[in-house]
Structure 1
Amino acid sequence: MNETNAGGVRRRSVEVVVPVHNEAHVLTDSVGTLHAHLEESFPFPFRITIADNASTDGTWRVAASLTESLPHVHAVRLAAKGRGRALKDVWSESTADVVAYMDVDLSTGLEGFLPLVAPLLSGHSDLAIGSRLHRQSAVVRGPKREFVSRSYNLLLKLGLAARFSDAQCGFKAVRADVFRALAPHIEDTAWFFDTELLVLAQRNRLRIHEVPVDWVDDPDSRVDIVRTALDDLRGVRRMLRATVTGRTRVTDVSRRTSTPQVPAARESLEVPPTGAHASSRSEHLEYAS
């Protein structure tokens, strides 16, 4: 992607991924809401990619329909389940400068998206996370999920010396070049993917930016808390061993620039015609703002 502003400077872009599994019933409303928000208020070139990981309902049919009706929406279909697998696949092939993701339920307020990605676009930070545990966050959720979240993050601080506050919030972004360097070292393909990415970033002295978020618990969430917690414990043990043996060190990771670029002001770009956007993966990605 080589879009430039009036001064001839290439504009930086964002690809936001929405990983889904059997979410046909909410996909149209959620992606429509996200698309409208970004079109109206996001000042950078963007694209939305629906990553359908092995859905067995009508999710792919809905995703394909959305690529026809919304100009900045694309879709990818994966044969195997796993949120981490979906993110790794799409992010690794992205031609955007910054890659991000959010959960399809849009539990996190979209007003936090620009503050999330802006430090990455400017070159100030390498990875950014939304934190529900930030003192300025406004969170609505039940006591059970609150307890599990805080306990898990305490475990990360005690076991892995984590300096980030909320590993599980489904609202993250990373510089694409940084992710490509870290990706071969990420083993998990499910929910521990986020934690593994953050631990690797911290171990390699990358700058992690946190933003407070407004977050409302989704009562329809089908995450198996017990199973996920057990998988996370196994992941923490594996990362602890990797840290002790030095396997978390990534020698070719690209750190933030010493002279960050100032993001260009918003400009109108030529929007590609709608049509056959849904595919296994496009060779050339078109973005629009």
Structure 2
Amino acid sequence: MLTGGAQGRHNDGTVRASTVDHMTTTIAKGSPAPIDPRSRTPLLDVVVPVYNEEADLGACVRRLHAHLTENLPYSFRITVADNASTDATLAIATGLAAELPEVTVVHLPEKGRGRALRRVWSESDSPVLAYMDVDLSTDLAALLPLIAPLISGHSDVAIGTRLARGARVVRGPKREFISRCYNLILRGALAARFSDAQCGFKAIRKDVADRLLPLVEDTGWFFDTELLVLAQQAGLRIHEVPVDWVDDPDSRVDIVATAIADLKGVARLAKGLASGSLKISGMGRDPLPGFPPKLASQAVRFAAVGIASTVAYLALYTWLRGGIGAQAANLVALLVTAIANTAANRRFTFGVRGREGATRHHLQGLVAFVLGLALTSGSLAVLHAMTAPPRLVELGVLVLANLIATVLRFLLLRHWVFRARNA
């Protein structure tokens, strides 16, 4: 249903084949042309995906409309994308469309933020497309800096970032910890070069969206990450804008379910990179130097194993921590996961099958365990010597120490334990 009227960092790479294995897609070389702001078509289409937001929708849309009217020197449209709401959200959105000529409503019978964005962006006639969360956690003053490089032709995608220098963020330590860990996982598993995948404040050129959207499989919260990974693989420029962001204390996002879905998405993309289904067929711009194919494949597989090992380590550490203390829990959790990690990398990362050499590989893998133990135990000792830290801070320090140990473990496994296999 459609109602209402209309009124720095860069990344490079290739485009992926989504629905057909090894299918290739080419994005034309060269910089995009600047967008003509004099066109009668609304230059900017801002999508606000909503699900059961009857309490906040009216105030948020009116505030966004007022800001755009007063500060944006271009024509615009606000599209409320209703994701199968069961309350009065759709009725309120329809009323807003009747009240404000620049507001339109799209109703979808199924839930999913990614599904809503794909639908609206695919059908929009505006040359610049954006979206933001209905709670308007991001300061709207960042909107013009977000879309300016897209209008000028300087960049292809723009994102708000809460993790770059210059951003000012107000949120609890739990969400801060989860956000930083997630983006570290993206850097390790998918070689992501953007800093904040999940900030609900993004924009994209329509011509770029038309090429990328058919390749994005996810219809939920992982949609953003997958779109950015594909843009990076396509060699497109991703512009980052540090934002002022205040956490919504009334957020109803299921953090656990979202985290699990995101990790599944990361694993799917990592598998695509490792298997070669993310193929280079053309460059949007000049590519950045890459890894040798074998090293890239091993790094992706190692990162996937590392993610699973880290989650298992943190779960085991948390379970043991209350009974035997921090240092003992760290020793046991690290030893158990290190043995499992070596076995998994032996088979999946470096392709070693059978029992021959298994004992030697595990003994050599224990050297990596000792290094990891030294880093994590040392970090814990220093932390506890300085203060009596909250459990969340303690886990954060352990994750960072484990990340350093993971890099050392990969180098040891590749260049020492399984050196003959690589040769």
TM-score normalised by length of structure 1: 0.83
Q: Find the aligned partners of 2:261 and 2:184 in 1 and give their Cα distance.
A: 16
Partner Cα distance (2:172, 2:111) in 1: 27
Q: Which runs of 5+ in 2 are unaligned?
A: 1-6, 8-35, 287-423
- Is residue 43 of structure 1 aligned with residue 42 of structure 2? no
More helix, by proportion: 2
SS in 1 for 2:56: helix
CA-CA distance at 1:248 after TM superposition? 3.3
1:84 and 2:148 are equivalent in the alignment: no
Q: Is the 8 A contact 1:177 1:254 kept in 2?
A: no
Q: Distance in 1 between matches of 2:270 and 2:126?
A: 32
1:142-201 Cα shifts (integer Å, max 9, x gaps): 000000000000000011110000000000001111111111110000000000000000
Q: Distance in 1 between matches of 2:264 and 2:165?
A: 29
- Alignment partner, residue 104 of structure 1: 134
Structure-2 separation of matches of 1:40 and 1:250 = 44
Is 1:185 the equivalent of 2:203?
no
Contact 2:234 2:282 in 1 (8 A): no
3-state SS of paired residue (1:47): strand
What's the CA shift for 1:251? 5.1
* 1:115 corresponds to 2:145: yes
Which residue identity does 2:254 align to in structure 1?
A: D
Alignment counterpart, residue 194 of structure 1, candidates 217, 221, 224: 224
Q: SS of the counterpart of 2:111?
A: coil
Q: Give the corresponding residue for 2:173.
A: 143
Shift of residue 132, structure 1, vs aligned partner: 0.3
Match of 1:69 among 94, 99, 113: 99
**Across the two proteins, how many residue pairs are aligned to each other?**
251
**RMSD of equivalent CA atoms:** 2.0
Q: Is the 1:200–1:249 contact (alpha carbons within 8 Å) kept by the matching residues of 2? A: no
Structure 1 position 153 matched with structure 2 position 179: no
Deviation at 1:255, TM superposition (A): 6.7
Amino acid at match of 2:102: H
Work out whether residues 139 and 245 of structure 2, in 8 Å CA contact, stay in contact via their aligned partners in 1: yes
CA distance in 2, matches of 1:21, 1:37: 23
Flag the 1:248–1:14 CA change in 2: closer, same or farther, 3 A: farther
Deviation, structure 1 residue 244: 2.5
Deviation, structure 1 residue 242: 1.6
Q: Is the 8 A contact 1:37 1:110 kept in 2?
A: yes
CA contact (8 A) 1:185 1:248 kept: no
Q: Give the structure 2 partner of residue 169 of structure 1.
A: 199
The percentage of counterpart residues that share the same residue type is 62
Separation (CA, whole Å) in 2 of partners of 1:183 and 1:253? 17
Q: Distance in 2 between matches of 1:43 and 1:161?
A: 37
Aligned pair in 2 of structure 1 residues 62, 171: CA closer, same or farther (>3 Å)? same
Residues 9, 35 of structure 1: alpha-carbon distance in 2 compared, 3 angstrom cutoff: closer
Which of residues 264, 267, 270 is equivalent to 1:234? 264
Once residues 128 and 108 of structure 1 are traced to their aligned partners in structure 2, the CA distance between those partners, rounded to angstroms, is 14
Higher-Rg member (1/2): 2
SS in 1 for 2:55: helix
Q: 1:253 to 1:50 in 2, by over 3 A?
A: farther
Q: Give 3-state SS (helix, strand or coil) of 1:24's partner.
A: coil
Amino acid at match of 1:61: A
Secondary structure at the aligned position of 2:249 is classed as: coil
Picking from 51, 56, 79, the partner of 1:21 is: 51
The AA in structure 2 aligned to 1:244 is A
Q: Which structure ranks higher in relative contact order (CA pairs < 8 Å, sequence separation ≥ 6)?
A: 1
- Is the contact made by 1:181 and 1:250 (CA closer than 8 Å) also made in structure 2? no
Name the structure 2 match of 1:133: 163
Q: What amino acid is aligned across from residue 126 of structure 2 in structure 1? A: A
- In the alignment, the residues of structure 2 paired with residue 238 and residue 87 of structure 1 have an alpha-carbon distance, to the nearest angstrom, of 21
Aligned partner of 1:203 among 217, 222, 233: 233
Q: Deviations over 1:204-247 (max 9, x none)?
A: 11000000000000001000111111101000010111223343
